[in-house]
Amino acid sequence: MDYKVLDMEKYYRKDIYRHFTMDCKCSVMITSKIDVSELVAYSKQTGTKFYINFLYVLTKALNTRDDYKMRYLYQEDKLVVFDKINTAHYVFHEDTETFTVVYTEFSEDYQAFYDRCCADMEKAKQTRSYGLDGSKLNYFDASYISWLSYEALHVELPDGHLHFPPIINWGKYHSENGRLLMPVTVRMNHAIADGYVVSKAFLLLEKEIERLVEETELMD
């Protein structure tokens, strides 16, 4: 869990950061539909799970920019940027209608990440505990709402004005004008992100989907 401590005097958002951590504590959240037609086709073609493939491109996208890898360390009173951010996602238990947190370390090697994620999910299925681990700091929250293709979503963090990791949600994809569209919600703290930074997450995600599909086509 390597990180660098941010020099606030050199931070490009230092004045904005001070305003939104002191005067106006709030977050920025955008829900938008992204085209996952190619990723769905890729998953079917390769016999792999769409859910894990989406987690891979999502985590890869968020690791391309420091804004998505930040965290405030309360005890040290430091704002840090991790070298790598991993994914904390969830397994749903039908029998108890509860969730277990699944921690999967990211690897740019697709197969390594895929295999690791499968193993982590299988392990989580064996328990019914929530499994939240507060010692894991370089993780962002990724939650799939599989029952609904929603139009909007809001995540409220009343005491989360120093919570900086992204919170990502997505719903069921659906057919629209011959394409498969999926709602994705990106929530970030306004101190470290504005509309541009949040919007950029969607653009980076779409780019990583395209890249994964293209790399597979080149290997065929």
Q: Report pLDDT digits (tens) over 73-124.
A: 998 999 999 999 999 999 999 999 999 999 999 999 999 999 999 999 999 9
Joined together, the tokens standing for residue 147 give: 């029952």
Strands of the 70-73 sheet, one edge to the other: 3-5, 78-82, 70-73
Residues in the chain: 220
The pTM (predicted TM-score) of the whole model is 0.96
Compute the C-alpha angle 172/41/55, nearest 5°: 55
Question: Rounded CA gap, 87 and 103, in Å?
Answer: 6
Confidence tier at 219 by pLDDT (50, 70, 90): low
Q: Among 71, 69, 66, 62, which residue's Cα sits nearest to residue 162? A: 71
- Long-range CB pairs of 42-50 (<8 Å, 24+ gap) are 42/212, 42/213, 42/216, 45/216, 46/216, 48/114, 49/118
